[in-house]
Each structure stands twice: as structure tokens, then as C-alpha cells.
Structure 1
Amino acid sequence: MRNTETIPAELSTLAACQEELVSITQCAEAGISKHAVLRLVRAGAWVRITRGVYDTNPVPVRDRICADYHDHVRRRAAWIGLLAYPDGAATGGCALALLGVGGLPSELAPEVSRPTWMDAGVRPGTVLRRYGTFPVVQRHGRDVAELVHALAQGLLTLPRDHAVAAICDALREDRICLADLGRIRSLIRGRRGVVAVRAWLELVPGRDASPSETFTRLSLIDHGVPPDGQQIVFRLGGTFLGRVDFAWILPDGRYVVLEVDGREFHSGNGMLADDATRQNGLVGTDRVIVLRFPAPRDSADGDIGGQVAERLHPLGWVPGGSIGPVVHLD
């Protein structure tokens, strides 16, 4: 609908940094009164999200078209929390979304921690956490939990698959190191729910090249078929045949390999052609059985582990094998 008010340029610029959201306080500072905001909402130009927070884009979130749609939705949740509580800091999954960590759920609840807990005035649709004090970094002038603390918070609040995938993503991108896993373990000590999630840290070390590979590995572990190797290079007569995501060795000397066709990493005709060439080279040796699956959204998506187990057990595979980084099929 037609915008019935003139929006100051500085407020539009601010909204662009906040996933198109603004607070009632920011509106007042820009010279837009509460009555003007109400007129914008009634005209359908803005949408009220929760008390004191407005979306300047009237298009429903599910209908928006943007290249980073899922990241937009996650960051938007984080900004809803930050704008609803001016004294709050983004925590857990929302902090990780603002810090650009991968592997998160497609949707997040707006989540913040405040310096002083106040039960009164809790904004509908938001979550307040009791974390006390913790180091923060700045994102567009707002407090966001520092990465290691955000990962520890996420470990306690996110589903297992996404908590593990987020930590794996931070490790893969060299944003944390293995020693930081000890810091995370210390940070969650004594917190509610720690007994259930402490074992999840044992699922982190791996060679996953993407969150979808983390979800695949977790599915394989859940179904009793952990891979004998990851990111394995196959060669024949000194010729490179390909690098596969997961591999198992069979008693007869053959290999079963699994390729995850990641939505982010295997898109485009060029990559598809490369995948086909690689698969043909491996299958042509008669010593490799290739399995391929679409990238899962979590460990249950597509039942990858169950399907791999159904293939491996009849072939005589036994757990405990180990495959080095390079396999020579000579």
C-alpha cells in the first residue's frame, strides 16, 4: 500500500542495517511520532512485530525473495530481540546468526540476555536468558555474545544437529581452535541441561566440509555406520579420480563411498558435470560403490544413515575400519 509518511533517510539507512526493522525509540529519535507509526501500520506500509518493534517491509517474510533468504530470516530474529530490549545482548543462535556462523536452524526465536533480569515487560515472541555477564562484540552498535560464549549458549539451547554443526563450522573456518572446545565445556558446566548436551562435544571433531556433511555424519553415527574415513582422495595409476565425502572399506577390499550433493556447494551445470566425471571414474574401477544423496537439512532428513546401513551390512562391512587420506586403487 502507499506509504502515508515521509521516512527520514537516516531511519531508512538504519533499517537496512537491521534487516528492515526499527524500534519505536529509533523512530522518535528520527522525528517520527507514535501516531505517525500507527498510521503507517494501519496503512499497511509497516508491520508491528512485537511491542516497540516494527518491520518497514510489509511483504510477509515467507514471500520475500533475496539471495541470502535463510540468513536474512535468522538475522531478523536476532534484531527483533535486540530492538525489543535496548539494554539486551544477542545470545545463542541469534548471536551466531549475527556473527555469520553456519549450520543454524532455518528459523530462530528472538533471544537476548539482559544485564538485570526483569520478569515484567517480557515482549511477546521473544526469549530472555539468564547468563550473567559475558564478553561481547559489536554489530551495528549493539552487543552480541563473543563467539565462544555464543557457541556454548547455543549448545544448551539449539537442537543437537545444529549446535554441533555450528561448532564444526566455526572450526572449519578457523574462527575457533580445538582448544576452544575445552572453554566451551567449562562455560556450560553447571548449567541446566548440561548432562544431556556434554556428549555432543564428542561429535564435533571431524572433517566435514559443510553443515550438510555434518548432518550426514551425525545420521551415519546414529545408525551405527560411522564412516571409516572422510574427504578421501582416490587415485589409480597416479591419476587423480576424485575426493569423496565419506568412505567405508569392505572385507573384500572394495570401497563404499558417499557423496553429499550440497545445495550450496554442488550447484551449477559445471559442478554437476564435474561430479558426473568423478563418479564415472570411480565406478569404472569396479572397486568402488558410489552412493549419492541430496544435502540434508538435519540428521533425520532423507534417512541417509538408515539407507547406508541397509547397503553396508549385506556387503559384510564391520565397524572399526580406518582409511587413510589417500587410497591407491592399483
Structure 2
Amino acid sequence: MPPSLLDLAEAQEGLLSTEQCGRHGVGASRCSRAVAGGRWSRVTRGVVDTITVPPASRTAFDVPRSPVPPLSVTSAPDLVPWPPRSDGDRLFGHLRRRAGWLGHLAHGATSIPVGTSALAFLGIEGTPVTAAPDVALPWAAKRQPRAGVPLRQFDDGLTTVPFGDGRTGEIRIAAPEWALAQAVPELTMERGLAVLDSARRLRLVDRHGVERSHDHARGRRGVAARHDLWDLADPRAASPLESFARWQCIAEGVPPDTLQLVVRDLAGAPFAVGDLAWRLGPTQWLVGELDGYEWHDGDPARVVRDRDRDNAFTALGVRLLRFDAGHLRRGEVGTAVRRALHAYRRTGG
């Protein structure tokens, strides 16, 4: 295959349209032979995947090494590391952006990734890894969706931003305010909060941008139960895990008093930062810590550091609750915090 075509597939998370193949001298019969020989697979009409491993079975070693990075990487380089922080970040980011490319390639150059697909291209975290392609055309109501690639009605007044690089050329995607307005009413409550938090943290929208996004979302199906999420968006939330945990606490009636609490040692110097915190007294706090999906994998030294840090928290009069992704999946965070606060108030500390 021509190197230029393989570079394009690398940029587009392994996907190519048959139109792109033709422009690079690879005709329909050659594409069909690649699919028949198992080197490529056909995703939907007009789109092939050059990665032979099925998406559900992929690991970080299967995904492209140099895809088009999310816009947040260039707009907030001090906040977004690239390459991503872990193998899990690489894999999940690939799967989310792949959905956006699939939708765009299936419906052609005039299609606009919107909703969760636009959020993935923007680099906003918190969307489901399994989100379907989300694209719009000005004439979407008059065009049939392709298998696995639905179409959204084009929003009146929708604004867009450019995405792509020298390999792909420029495509247009929904601007952050609009992408949030489209996605949040259709996400779960905790994911809706997570994407709003992420957009604020990455400085893709400010407080006024969140308000405009809320206005764009009014009247959409599902938004009535989610109006409060726009008011709760907080740039201090450092990860989707923290946003998920915060929502579980809000739903349980124990919202944290602050985020990213700076804990000081006996000399008054900053010692650590707690993810979520509840005030117990004038100088006493309950702190909730969220451990990432791969926080301790293969790193015994990190386990020791966390244990020593936990002991130091206790010595400073800070009560600590530590949670991981399993606690979040089981919905246990809010209940654990409520019980801890109740026990402290019942016993008087």
C-alpha cells in the first residue's frame, strides 16, 4: 500500500474511506482483495479498518502511534500530556476518536462530528468508550444513515471548529459549547458532569461558555433532569473518576465541601492535595482519594508511597477514604462517605 495512504490511516485511528483509497491509487478491487485476505476489514459501506484486531479485543499495542491528537493537546498543553498518561488512556482515546472518524468517513467531507464524537476530538474526557458515531449533515433528515452510523439533525446556529492535520486536511467539528449541549442530555448524570468538568478544566469553555451551552441544550430530550449539571461544572475536578465520585456523593446528599484540598504538614508547608474533602471541624477534614484504573499496576513502589502518605494523613488529623474504579462501578462512594460522616457526627469525632 502507498506510504501516504498508510500515514492517513494512522492519522484516522486506522480507518480509511474507499474514496480516500482511490485518491491514493488503491481502487475498489484492491480494497476488496485486502478485505478478503484478512488484512483489512469492512466497517460499513465505504469505510475499511486497517487494524486487523477487532475494536473490542484491542489493547494499547494495537492502536496507531501517531493519530491526530485531540484539540485540547494544542490548546492546553500544560494540562494534557501527549502521548497519553497510560496504556488505558491510549486505548480508550483511540476507541472514542475512532467512532468520530467512522461517522465522518461514512458520510463524507461535508459531515460534521457532533456530540460525543466532537467531544472525543476535542479531548474532553468522560464519554463512554462504546459511544456510537455522532455526526450531522445539514440535510440529515433527507439522507439514510449507514449501518452502525446514525445521523443527527443539524442544529440551527451550530458553530464549528477545525480539526485535522497535514495528513487528513481540515474537517469541521462541533464547537465545545454545542458538543456539550448535544451530548450531556443523552449521557448518564455522572458522565454528564464529567464532560462538563473536563471542558472547564481544559479551558475549552469558561463559565460563560457553560451558560451558553446550557442555553443551546434547552428543550432537548433528557435535559430537564440535567439542568443542575451545568451549574455544578467545576474546573478543579482533575479526572472523570473524581467527577463520577462527586456525582455519587451529590446523589447521596453529601456533596463535598471542596475539591483539591491542600493538606499542610505540622510546619504549615503544603504536604498533599486531597481529591474530595468534607469539613469535620475547624481543622479536621474527611478526604476522599480516587485511584486511577492502572494506578498501582506493576509499581510496588507506588503502593508503598501511598501507604506512607495515608499514614501521614492520619498523623495530621485527616480522615481518609480511598476509592478505585471498582467502588465507582458498584456505586459505593456516596454511601461510604455518608456513613463515615454519620459515624463521626454520632460519636462526636
What corresponds to 1:102 in structure 2?
A: 125
**Aligned position for 1:121:** 144
Q: Which string of whole-angstrom CA distances, capped at 9 and with x for unpartnered residues, describes residues 101-123 of structure 1? A: 11221221011000112444310
Aligned residues: 310
Unaligned 5+ runs, structure 1 = 1-6, 318-330
CA shift for structure 1 position 82: 0.2
Residue of structure 2 in register with 1:326 after alignment = none
Please give the root-mean-square deviation of Cα atoms over the aligned residues, in Å.
2.5
1:290 and 2:314 matched:
no
Pairing partner for 2:160 from 126, 132, 136: 136
For the structure 1 residues 240 and 132, does the alpha-carbon distance in structure 2 shift closer, same or farther, using more than 3 Å as the test?
A: closer
Is residue 251–residue 316 contact of structure 1 (8 Å, CA) maintained in 2?
A: no
* Aligned partners of 2:211 and 2:230 also within 8 Å: no
Partner of residue 169, structure 1:
198
Q: Does the Cα contact within 8 Å between 1:234 and 1:241 map onto a contact in 2?
A: yes
Give the TM-score normalised by the residue count of structure 1: 0.85
CA contact 1:219–1:300 (8 Å) conserved in 2: no
Give distance in 2, aligned partners of 1:81 and 1:102. Answer: 19
Query: Which of 14, 18, 24 does residue 20 from structure 1 map onto?
Result: 14
Shift of 1:194: 2.8
Residues 114-146 of structure 1 deviation map (CA, whole Å, 9 limit, x = unaligned):
011244431011121112452222222222111
Partner of 2:308: 277
3-state SS, counterpart of residue 48 of structure 1: strand
Q: Does 1:219 align with 2:248?
A: yes
- Matched with 1:205 is 234
Which amino acid counterpart does residue 100 of structure 2 have in structure 1? A
Deviation track 1:228-262 (CA, whole Å, cap 9, x = no partner) reads: 23222233242444321222233697432211123
Amino acid at match of 1:17: A
Q: CA deviation at 1:53?
A: 0.8
Counterpart-to-counterpart distance in 2, 1:181 and 1:137: 17
Q: Counterpart of 1:320?
A: none
Deviates more, 1:50-59 or 1:253-262: 253-262
Say which of 33, 40, 51 aligns to 2:34. 40
Is structure 2 residue 152 aligned with structure 1 residue 152?
A: no
Going from structure 1 to structure 2, the CA distance change for 1:120 and 1:242 (only over 3 Å counts) comes to: closer
- Conserved? CA contact 2:162–2:171, under 8 Å: yes
- Aligned residues of 2:199 and 2:205 also touching (Cα < 8 A): yes
CA contact (8 A) 1:212 1:295 kept: yes
Q: Give 1 or 2 for the bigger CA radius of gyration.
A: 1
- Residue identity in the other structure for 1:70: F
Give 3-state SS (helix, strand or coil) of 2:203's partner: coil
Deviates more, 1:70-79 or 1:183-192: 183-192
Alignment of 1:181 with 2:207, yes or no, is no
Deviation at 1:196, TM superposition (A): 2.4
Task: Give the direction of change, closer, same or farther, for the CA distance of 1:101–1:210 in structure 2 (3 Å limit).
Answer: same
The aligned counterpart of 2:92 is: 70
**Cα gap change, 1:241 to 1:266, in 2 (>3 Å):** farther
- Given residue 107 of structure 1, which amino acid in structure 2 is its aligned partner? T
C-alpha change, 1:124 and 1:166, in structure 2 (3 Å) is same
Which shifted more, 210-219 or 220-229? 220-229
Larger displacement relative to structure 2 (199-208 or 88-97): 199-208
* Counterpart Cα distance in 2 of 1:30 and 1:234: 58
Q: Residue 198 of structure 2 contacts residue 235 of structure 2 at CA under 8 Å; is this kept in 1? A: no
- TM-score w.r.t. the length of structure 2 is 0.81
Identity %: 36
What is the CA–CA distance in structure 2 between the aligned matches of 1:34 and 1:263, rounded to whole Å?
Answer: 42
Query: What do residues 76-120 of structure 1 show as CA deviations (whole Å, max 9, x unaligned)?
Result: 011110000012100011001011111221221011000112444
Structure 1 position 217, deviation (Å): 0.6
* CA distance in structure 2 between the partners assigned to 1:134 and 1:239 by the alignment: 48
State how far apart, in whole Å, the 1-side matches of 2:142 and 2:329 are: 37
Determine if contact 1:216/1:296 at 8 Å carries over to the other structure.
Answer: no
Determine helix, strand or coil for the equivalent of 1:209.
Answer: coil
Q: Structure 1 33/215 Cα, relative in aligned 2: closer, same or farther at 3 Å?
A: same
Which residue number in structure 1 is paired with residue 279 of structure 2? 249
Quick check: which one's helix share is greater? 2
| 3-state SS of 2:140 partner | coil
Q: Tell me if the contact between 1:241 and 1:278 (Cα under 8 Å) persists in the aligned partners.
A: no
* Structure 2, unaligned runs of 5 or more: 61-86, 165-169
Matched, 1:261 2:255: no
State whether residues 248 and 333 of structure 2, in contact with CA within 8 Å, keep that contact through their aligned partners in structure 1: yes
Secondary structure in 1 matching 2:332 = helix
Measure the CA separation in 1 of the matches of 2:137 and 2:270: 55
